[in-house]
Amino acid sequence: MLLAREFGWTLDEMRELRPSELAAILRELQRQQLLHEYQEMRNKWAFLAAVITNVVGALAAAFGKRKHKPIEPDAFIADEVKRAVARFTGQAAQAEKRETDWDALVAEAKAKGLAGPW
């Protein structure tokens, strides 16, 4: 019924959907829910934790000898969640391609006339 309300479908239109279409819709809804939860976690709770930590750290640095190092909100989000979000958004594949695409970097360096230690 949620799909019917969300997309304005009738029951007959929903019955006409193939199982593969329902599976694709379910995967997309799961992806959107994960991204929504990640954004909420990062924009609200991790940001709040970073602000509190940075204020306490700045106060401690004002009375101490050490310099305060600011903390980013991403530091409060688990690595598993970050990897899942990257996998769902396709950023993980792009990052792997950038890391292993040495041919393009070597060609660019040769075009610029740069020489290595060899």
Query: Does 86 reside within a domain?
Result: yes
Q: What is the pLDDT of residue 77?
A: 87
Contacts of 69 (CB under 8 A, 6+ apart): 57
Q: Is the pLDDT of residue 95 over 60?
A: no
pLDDT in tens, 14-45: 788 888 888 888 888 888 888 888 888 888 88
Quickly state the pLDDT bin for 88 (edges 50, 70, 90): confident
Of residues 2 and 72, more confidence is placed in 72
Domain boundaries, position 41: 2-91
Closest CA to 61 of 76, 75, 71: 71
Q: Is the pLDDT of residue 82 over 60?
A: yes
Query: Does 107 reside within a domain?
Result: no
Of residues 86 and 104, more confidence is placed in 86
Query: Does 97 reside within a domain?
Result: no
Q: What pTM was computed for the model?
A: 0.54
Query: Does 53 reside within a domain?
Result: yes
Quickly state the pLDDT bin for 110 (edges 50, 70, 90): confident
Given the structure tokens 């050490």, which residue do they identify? 66
What domain count does the chain have?
1
45, 76 Cβ separation under 8 angstroms: yes
